[in-house]
Amino acid sequence: MNKKLFLRSILILCFSFTLLSCSSEDVKQEDTTQPAITLRAYTQSSFEIELLDLINQDRVSKGLNALSIINEISYVGSTHNDYMIAAGAINHDNFSQRAESLQAGLGALSVGENVASGFNTAQGVLNGWNNSPAHKANLEGNYTHFGVAVKADSTGKKYYTLLLIRK
């Protein structure tokens, strides 16, 4: 392999890791009276509804249960999008705080999270997640409910946070 091709391959690999990331954890039951993030109502955009519908269609086509939308889950995702936009990078910083909030506020037994940026279509981000073994595992996980938030930064670059829970 020539040096130019090798460097190009490394660049593509690094770029791919910056576009996609996922995390999941089983949440231990704790008696918490104050969630780390106050859950609030959230109204999904038509783009977010399209993505949620595509995720459910994908799950059902694989013989899995469709997930129910909980707006407060999307709200938690929106707070993380704000954080990622401020940081200028996708990440799972403070994932345990989001998971604890969903446990305390909604009774989540387990929580999974996929994040991404740079995709312009709902189908594009779903394809990206499905092409990554860890993200695909979250999409196909043993969950019952979900929410998603999509927000663009000042340049128009979209940030995505998908949270999935099992109740």
Close Cβ partners of 35 (under 8 Å, ≥ 6 residues apart): 100, 101, 104, 105
Cα separation of 9 and 20, whole Å? 17
- Per residue in 131-143, pLDDT tens? 999 999 999 999 9
- The answer as to whether 14 is a domain residue is no
pLDDT value of position 144: 98
- The answer as to whether 110 is a domain residue is yes
Q: What is the block-wise mean pLDDT of the chain (167 residues), using blocks of 10 residues?
A: 43 38 49 63 96 98 98 97 96 95 96 97 98 97 98 97 98
pLDDT value of position 37: 83
Q: Which of 29, 163, 8, 147 is nearest to 92 (CA)?
A: 163
- The answer as to whether 29 is a domain residue is no
pLDDT value of position 38: 85
Find the domain containing 114 and state its range: 46-166
- The answer as to whether 89 is a domain residue is yes
The verdict on pTM exceeding 0.85 is: no
Within 10 angstroms of residue 59's Cβ, the number of other Cβ atoms is: 18
